[in-house]
Each structure stands twice: as C-alpha cells, then as structure tokens.
A and B are shown apart, each in its own frame.
Chain A
C-alpha cells in the first residue's frame, strides 16, 4: 500500500510539473484519478511497457481524455515513456498531446478528447476480446460530468445487453465538471441506481483510499457475469490544498507561487 501511495505521490508531482511548464492543461481531473490509475497499472493491468502493442494486453481507455497529465505520469512511471517525455506535454511535435492520442503516445489505447466516446470504443474492444477467446479485460475511465453525454448510456445499455463481463468502468466521481459543480450544471441524482437499472454490477469506494481501491479493482476483475462499474468517490485536485474541490482548477495551471506551494505540499521540497 505504501508503495502505491508513493507511486501516486510521484505521479502528482509529474502532473503539477506538466501543467506548470505548459501553463495550460487539466490538473483537477488528473489529480482526482491518479490514485486509481496508479493502483490499476500496478496491480491489475496485464500490459508490457516494452511491447505497448502486445495484442493480448488488457486495454485501458481514458475516456476523459483531457485528464491526460495523469495518464502520461503513470505511463512514465511504468516505463512506457520516459520522464523526459513529460516535458513535451502540449509542446509542438511532442508525444504528450493535449488530449491522449493513440497515434502519438505509446501505451495509449484510444484517441480521446471528445467526451462520451470511450465506453463505446471499450465495448468494441471487449467484443473483440470475446471473439478471440481472450481473457483480456477492458477498463474505461469516465468522468462524472462526462456521463451526462447520451452516448454513454447507449453504450451502457448495449454492454449489458451483450453481457460483456470483460468490460469495466471506473467512474471518477469528483463532483466537478468544466464550468462548475455537477450539482449546478446537471444533477444526476442516484448514479449507482442508474447503472444498476442498466444491468451493471456496481461497487462504490473512496477513490483516495488505496486499500479500498485495490479491493474495488479486484471486484472489477472478478465480477465477470456482466459489465461492472466501480464508482470512485474522489476530490477534484486532490493532494494540492488550493486545487482541491475547486472548479477553477479544472483547466488552469498554477502560477509560480502556487507551483512552489504544490511542491512543498507534495514533499518535493522542504519549507
């Protein structure tokens, strides 16, 4: 657990570095998802960093493709890309494009950036795995604002209809979207009940508690009678006090002073 927590801390440092250097990008949703990504890559995903296109790998789809700093951070820690590659985030010609892109970056399975597309893509990947009698699992990370897109529910209904036990969703329930809190923008009422009524296995966890996360990921890996969703209650901007639960840091970079403070809070420098 401590190892996972340390991994996630290093990833948080990468995330803040990337958006600070680019003076653009999406720290909030990267920091809320990162504990989940760290545990997913370390404990669940069957992938080969030195063979990113390995056919029988598990698939991971970051459907909320703007939260790319989080994904690039874990890809660097896993060895798919180098830590130096992270400096190319949002830089002309860099492999770390603004939104995750399968044509640019090794280890990225889907080109995202338009919300509400990843679950349908994941469903196609899951059907492909079934047709090939492969044991591979497909994981799709969705944002809570993202599930307001109607296309998500077309895919949710279809995945249950086709009993895709190898399809798994992790929902980053950080309660904030672009302009404001979800509660103001579009109330979603009982999210677990919605997924249950669509025929999904549902489990809720605290998305910043490593032992709950590991349990939750095991649930996804073992409940294979139909599609499953892990609803992870998270805090947008988690780990940096002034970003935490603050809609202003959905898509804004820290200034010099804020950057120093972030490095202090992440234990990179001492006071």
Chain B
C-alpha cells in the first residue's frame, strides 16, 4: 500500500489511452494542467477544444458534439462544473447526451485553496439528475479503468477526482473494476464501512484499528454512487447488520444519503454517516482538513462502534 497517486492523474492517463478512438474529444476550461487533460491536449491538439474560462459554454459544446456522434470528455474543478449545473440538467441530462464531465479537486481534501475551491455538494446535485452516472473513484488505477469504461457508455456522467495523493489500491486488479459494482476490499461480519474517494483508504485504516480491538469490518469501495449497487448493500445488511458510510462530502445527499435512501425502502439496518457536517471548508493541508471536518480514520472507527451498538 505504499505507492501513492492522485486520482486526477488516472484521468489524464485514461484520456491518452482513449485517444486511439478518433471520436474521443477533450474539452478544457483553462484548468487542463490541474485536471490532467493537458497530456491529451499535447498529444492531440486537433481534438482538444479550449473553451477559455467558460464552464457553461463548455458543457453545451459537449452536448453538441455528443449529439453529432462524438465522445466528449470535459473537465474543470468539481466546484466549477457546478456553475454549469443547469446546462448539465437541461442540455445534457434531459436529452441524455453522453457528455462525460470530470470534476477534479473535489472535497475538503483539496486543501489550502480554501472553501471556494472545496466542492462538498457535487455528488449530491449530480445524483439528482436522471440519466447521469455518478462516480467517485479512490485510486489512480480505478479512475483510469472507469474513465475508459465511460467512453463506451451511452449516458452522460459526472466523475469526481481528487487533487492530492492517496494509496494505489488496484494495481494488477483492473478486472475487478466495473461501473455500478462496489468492491469489497476487506471482509468481516461485525460492521460494513462503505466509502468513496479519498475516504476509502481512511476506512481501510479504520478497519485495521477496529481489528486490533477484535472488531471485524468489511470495507467497500463504492466508486459508483449512481446507479447504486443495491444488491451489494442488501448483502452487507445481511452479513454485517450495521453500516457506516464515509465520504469527503456534505453529510446531506451524497453516498450516505444514497445508502440511507436505499435502506429505508428495503431492509432497515443501523447506519452511521461520516461526512462534512453541513458546513463550508477553509484553508488547511489535506490531512488537516480531514481532522477539522471530523471525517478521518478515528471518526470512522468510532462510527463503526456506534452502528454496531445499535444492532438489535
């Protein structure tokens, strides 16, 4: 687990690999150096469209390209995709045009840029749009694989990537990664921790702490928030009987919200949600932010015990 990488780099690698398909085009809004679409731009300037600092225009240019048979990948910071939310809703999702939007620098883990750059609501808002696939991978390898799979999808998508490095988890395990299928990274029957993005490695560490206390946790990387892997959640309810969700996102509407929505309409089970407690972020180092937001490893471990205590 020592190798580290930033998921935005996985996105950049995937675009380069996808370049052999002449229908793949890349759209930028003056953040290609940050989202990592710059590698594609360097290799294929003729298929890269600079939209300047104009996110709203970018998304609908993508819609026009998709309607003409192209496969557009558009990226900017997660937060700035949100400026084009209504374009995404009415011009992309409603006509079901396969524009693939990547929002990098998601979450408070983004760090010292501060609250204006730390999107904590992207997963929630995109999840409310019909037709849109919503992804938030945890490492560079899964980001690369999921991005490559998106190119074959006929639906629009939103994928959040992160600015800072996290452990690489899936080297040599590429075939386990499928849109819509959560991945069990560790198995136990006391409690299940369902996480996404940078919180997956935090959750694995929490499981280690719990194991030292004799508590055996399952850890799931739920890289796809929509469509949600409801089969897997049912299985976790049956095998563990208590759940925790962990995300670097507002506690409202994200992964915790998605799992809660599923549970209330199926089998109820105790659920504790770890996430940003309905507040904006601030400037701080990535690791400091997880502490300030109370979403780091010890908080996940404590939530696991609370969920277990609520089992009937």
Which A residues have a C-beta under 8 Å from some C-beta of B?
A: 22, 24-25, 65, 90-94, 97-99, 101, 104, 111-116, 145-146, 148-150, 177-179, 184-186
Contact = CB atoms under 8 A, between A and B. Distances in A.
B283 A186 contact: no
Contacts of B38: 179
Interface in B37-52: 38, 50-52
A115 B117 CA distance: 11
B114 A186 contact: no
Interface string B268-293: 00000000000000111100100010
Contact of B112 (A98, A146, A150): A98
A77 B114 CA distance: 24
Given A99-B113, A178-B31, A179-B31, A148 B285 contact: no
A269 B114 CA distance: 33
A25 B113 CA distance: 8
Interface stretch (B53-61, B174-182, B233-241): B53-61
26 contacts: A22-B112, A24-B112, A91-B283, A92-B282, A92-B284, A93-B282, A94-B283, A99-B114, A101-B115, A101-B116, A104-B282, A111-B116, A114-B80, A114-B83, A115-B53, A146-B53, A150-B54, A177-B30, A178-B30, A178-B34, A179-B30, A179-B32, A184-B50, A185-B50, A185-B53, A186-B52
B97 interface: no
B311 interface: no
A22 B284 CA distance: 10
Contact of B51 (A97, A114, A186): A186
A186 B30 CA distance: 9
Given A145-B52, A148-B52, A186-B52, A90 B117 contact: no
A113 B50 CA distance: 21
B135 interface: no
| B contact patch SS | loop
Contacts of A150: 54, 56-57
A148 B53 contact: yes
| A contact patch SS | loop
B79 interface: yes
A124 B305 CA distance: 51
B33 interface: yes
A97 B34 CA distance: 20
Contacts of B51: 186
A114 B116 contact: yes
B11 to A, nearest CB: 16
Contact of A90 (B30, B32, B112): B112
B31 A113 contact: no
Contacts of A91: 283-284
